[in-house]
Amino acid sequence: MLTQIRLCAARKIAYAYTLSLIWAWTLVPQEAGHPVTLREELAVGQQYQVRCRVSLQGTLRLPPEKEGAPPTVLPFTGKSQIDYVERILELGSGNEVRRTFRVYERMHFHRVLGKQEQTSELRPLARRMVLVRHRHLEVPFSPDGPLLWSEIDRVRTDVFPPALVGLLPKAAVRVGDKWQATSQVLFELTDLEQIIQGQLECRFERIVVQASARLAQVSLEGTMTGMSEDGPARHQLSGFYYFDLDNRLLTYISLEGKQSLLDSEGKSVSELRGQFVMTRQRVHDHPWVSDQALRGLKLVPDEENTRLLFEEPELGLGFIYPRRWTVRRADARQVALAEPQGASILITLDSSGQVWTGAKYQQHVEQWLAQEKASVHRRSGIRALDHPAGKLEHFQYEVTLRGERVILDYYAYQHSAGSMTVAGRVPSTQPSLVEDISVVARSLRHLGAPR
């Protein structure tokens, strides 16, 4: 299901900004016939203040609850406000931005789906992020601790301003000239994973002066169809941007858009309309992203700082896990994780009032192995491990089970309100994945307990 659509933003903000320009700008007709270069030079260390506003309205189609039943279509409205300061950390060989450091001042989301209202804010511990650009996606991590998947998803679906240089022409242009935005921009503005057809046309409209700044106004128009994470989709975009000719900066963009999810015949079955406005300016030695602020921070991704946080107050459970794992299921009784090479982790929450000690848990596992007629090649004794908020015990087996040789890794965690167990399964050919199970078990936390 769609979590957010980035296209389009606060209509009132766009109107107010444009109105201020109408009153304050001056047309520059003497420059109309002269070629103008619209090129933004990106460099490591550059800093930007960015503000984005989005508003959405339309309908969302939810998958049917039962097979054969019709899908549910619900009305949807949403708004978001995102403000941050960003510093470029790394450029690629083609001068594309590979890595940035970002500090959020605000990330606020509000949406109403049917009768369900949701509001969310960014956790204070996640305000500082490093964004690694991979193809047309941003992969964030925080130097201050693991991120929730929802926080990663919000950043992933947000516009990455340095990518918008693909809206600029490659050569000098005159008023009235047209050109096509790059495919990089199409991916950035639509969230399509594959673009089948369509383009976004840019047209140089005029040069205006506003508050002594010379601004090139460029209009945008286009329709793109392709595949999104929700299936076939069509995006229709229109709007404009301003390029600051003196500061060589794309400083403002306003877009209106319509996204339609399509059925197998190409007909629209769900539609969202919205507005997107972004303002952007260069800043210098901002205290949040200055050399001093970055000193001592680990700004390159590694095994530790890219881990994810699972935190569900309703389940009373929190833990940390490596990013290569995926949470497949989370309910009141169990949380299941899977890894691409065939490993799995199952966390079972005690709901019976029984306390699972290491000895009791190992006895249960021995009975299960006998029942499954597993061949045990190696077994360990129970070992007590340090844990900041409870008692953690560990034991392990290497067995042949149902024709496969695997390592079975077990933990029993006793906390102030009860107990939990962890059952990990790793192919014997991938023993390094056992350490991932240890990361999960050692970070287990009952949410009523201290960190």
Q: Report the CATH number that the domain containing residue 33 is assigned in CATH.
A: 2.30.230
Query: Which residues form the domain of 412?
Result: 308-446
Does pLDDT of 388 surpass 80? yes
Residues 205 and 101 in one domain: yes
Do 169 and 312 belong to one domain? no
Q: Model confidence over 79-102: pLDDT tens digits?
A: 999 999 999 999 999 889 999 999
Does 1 reside within a domain? no
Same domain? 119 vs 264: yes
Of the candidate ranges 63-77, 266-280, 290-304, 394-408, the one whose mean pLDDT is the lowest? 63-77
Phi, psi dihedrals of residue 14, rounded to the nearest 5°: -60, -40
For residue 29, what pLDDT is reported? Answer: 55
Collapsing DSSP to helix, strand or coil, 364 comes out as helix
State residue 21's pLDDT score: 45
Least confident of 59-68, 187-196, 204-213, 345-354: 59-68
pLDDT for residue 3: 36
Asked whether residue 268 is assigned to any structural domain, the reply reads yes
**Residue 2 pLDDT:** 32
Q: Tell me: do 95 and 241 sit in the same domain.
A: yes
- Report the relative pairing of strands 418-427 and 445-446 from DSSP bridges: unpaired
Task: Give the CATH number, domain containing residue 347.
Answer: 3.40.1000.10
Is residue 196 domain-shared with residue 330, that is, in the same domain? no
Tell me whether residue 299 is in a domain. Answer: no
Average pLDDT over residues 290-314: 95
Q: Are residues 227 and 136 in the same domain?
A: yes
Tell me how many domains the chain contains: 2
* Domain identity same for 225 and 363: no
Domain membership of residue 4 (yes or no) is no
Does 313 lie in the same domain as 290?
no
Three-state secondary-structure class, residue 153: helix
Domain stops at, among 294, 320, 338: 294
Do 128 and 105 touch, CB atoms closer than 8 A?
A: no
* Domain-located, residue 301: no
- pLDDT tens by residue, 23-45: 445 555 545 578 999 999 999 99
CB 303 within 8 A of CB 386: no
Q: How does strand 194-210 pair with strand 116-121? A: unpaired
**Domain shared by 220 and 327, yes or no:** no
For the chain, the average pLDDT equals 89
Domain C-terminal end among 271, 294, 317: 294
The pTM score is 0.86
Q: Is the pLDDT of residue 389 over 90?
A: no
- Evaluate if residue 6 carries a pLDDT over 60: no
Last residue of a domain, one of 294, 318, 343: 294
The pairing of strands 128-134 and 116-121 is: unpaired
Pairing of strands 194-210, 178-180: antiparallel
pLDDT of 267: 87
Asked if residue 209 is part of any domain, the answer here is: yes
* Domain presence at residue 451: no
Contact 318, 390 (CB under 8 A): no
Same domain, 108 and 232: yes
Complete DSSP assignment for 71-133 = PEEEEEEEEEEEEEEEEEEEE-TTS-EEEEEEEEEEEEEEEEETTEEEEEE--GGGSEEEEEE
Instruction: Give the DSSP H or E segment for 442.
Output: helix 434-443
- Whether 302 is in a domain gets the answer no
**pLDDT, position 31:** 57
Are 277 and 378 within one domain?
A: no
At residue 119, what is the residue type? T
Helix/strand/coil for 247: coil
CA distances from 451 to 206, 212, 397, 401, 416 (A): 58, 54, 30, 37, 13
Same domain, 247 and 324: no
